[in-house]
Amino acid sequence: MTVLDAHTHPHFREHRAGRAAADVFLREARRHGIEHVVALGDVLAFGRSPNADQLRSINDDTLWLVKRHPQQVTGFCYLNPTLGERAVWQEVERCVAVPGIRGLKLEVANNARDACMRPVMKAAERYGLVVLQHAWSMTKIKQRSFHTDPEDAVLLARRFPNVRVIMAHLTGCGVRGVLAARGCDNLVVDTSGAAPEAGIVAYAVEKLGVQRVIYGSDAPIRDFAVAIARITGAGLGRDAERRILRDNARELLRLP
């Protein structure tokens, strides 16, 4: 079965291998049957709140990769909403000029419920972009002032019902995150995050429906084979596996 990975970071400065490492990354993806990846950028390369120059540097890597591998890579433009409305629009418009940029990536510069998200979501609406919002249960992490809890990601999606939102990290969001996402039809959850904890993928499918769960690995932080095994080991059946591993993301990203 061919696979579409909705959550990857092909550039990782920790490796100090430069852009060549991204080519190695894509070869590794192909070896695991992954025909297409969403490249989200090396989002923590400059800390949790990068400035405009740092953002451009991260996004330049993504743009380079999308141009180099247009059939294999979709790019998401990484944003820091706290830089303000003008900076957000400038960076979005610079990135969407490149074919293959189909989404916006939000990390931990701010919480998804913050007012600074409004221009981000307006830009997503204007250009028909998917928004991938990092989320994790803040029950133990205690960083909610800038780190998005699943309830915050769901609130964002409800405030902007015309924008398709990916709530990242099913395993980090946990049972409470799945329950929060019920009834929020413009939000899907990706299966990335932490170790392959048993039961959570099947639980998400049961509560949200198979059409609202998409495969994501978070590679290279995670192993493609392990990330795929979270789905194939969950006892869902071949049809559900195909939807999660490929079809749902293809429809969400409007890929051919």
Using the rule CB under 8 A, give the single segment among 138-146, 152-160, 237-245, 247-255 that binds other proteins.
138-146
Distance of alpha carbon 30 from alpha carbon 26, whole angstroms: 6
Which tokens belong to 34?
């992954």
Based on CB atoms, which residue is closest to other proteins, 97 or 195? 195
Give min distance, CB of 204 to other proteins, in A.
Answer: 12
Does 209 help bind other proteins (rule: CB under 8 A)? no
Identify which of residues 189 and 252 has a Cβ nearer to other proteins in the complex.
189
Per CB under 8 A, 229 contacts other proteins: yes
Q: Is 153 in the site for other proteins (CB under 8 A)?
A: no
Residue among 60, 10, 11 nearest 36 (CA): 10
Q: Can residue 223 be called a binding residue for other proteins (CB under 8 A)?
A: yes
Name the token pair of 16.
């100090």
User: Taking the complex as a whole, how short is the minimal distance between the CB of residue 37 and other proteins, in angstroms?
Assistant: 12
Q: Residue 224: count other Cβ atoms within 10 Å of its Cβ.
A: 22
Residue 160 contacts residue 184 (beta carbons within 8 Å): no
Pair type for strands 130-133 and 73-78: unpaired
Q: Segment near other proteins (CB under 8 A), from 57-65, 91-99, 100-108, 213-221?
A: 213-221
174 part of the interface to other proteins, by CB under 8 A = yes
Figure out which of the listed residues 51, 198, 239, 255 binds other proteins, where binding follows CB under 8 A: 198
The answer to whether residues 26 and 57 touch, using CB atoms and an 8 Å cutoff, is no
Helix axes of 200-208 and 170-181: crossing angle, nearest 10 degrees: 20
With CB under 8 A as the contact rule, the residue among 62, 80, 137, 248 that binds other proteins is 137
Computed from CA positions of residues 181, 183, 188, 190, in that sequence, does the dihedral angle turn out positive or negative?
A: positive
Q: Which residues bind to other proteins, rule: CB under 8 A?
A: 25, 28, 31-32, 136-137, 139-141, 171-172, 174-175, 194-199, 203, 219-226, 228-230, 232-234
